[in-house]
Amino acid sequence: MHSDERLAVDLLAGTDYGRVATSMRALPFLAFARHIVQDGLVLLRLPRSCGYHRACIGSVVAYGSDNLSSARPGESLWSVQVVGECAAHEPTAAETERFGPAPRTVDGVPYEPVHLRIEPQFGTVHSADDGLERHFAHML
């Protein structure tokens, strides 16, 4: 894994939620997801009722997160994205535990999870005021 991908995955590991982007019937869409990072893979948990997983499985997707609403005063703003092929995933008991509690409902429908995995092929990181570059200089 190159330094950009490693930094992107490391930043994702420090967040809980993000957005997956792909297309469905030639139309782009974003869907929220809970994620964890395991052995360099980004594992997602999405609500089955939305059906977005059907467009993701077997496709190249982008997955991103940021700290735009959670950065503390003086902390650098950043946004990260990884791109890779998405596949269905059967989580282990330990992975399920790491995902934490699931919501009871999504859009008024009882929540049923579907799990996916992304093997990042490349990643991008953008930050304001070079804060991340200074913080993670030892990794680059």
Residues 55-71: tens digit of each pLDDT: 999 999 999 999 988 88
Cβ neighbours of residue 72 under 8 Å, at least 6 residues apart? none
The yes-or-no verdict on residue 120 having pLDDT over 50 is yes
Residue 94 has pLDDT above 90, yes or no: yes
Instruction: Report residue 134's pLDDT band, with 50, 70 and 90 as the boundaries.
Output: very low
Whole-number percent of the chain with pLDDT over 90: 65
Cβ contacts of residue 127 below 8 Å, gap of 6+?
Answer: 76, 77, 78, 79, 133
- Higher per-residue pLDDT: 90 or 73: 90
Which pLDDT band, with edges at 50, 70 and 90, does 140 fall under? very low
What is the 3-state secondary structure of 77-126? CEEEEEEEEEEECCCCHHHHHHHCCCCCEECCEECCEEEEEEEEEEEEEE
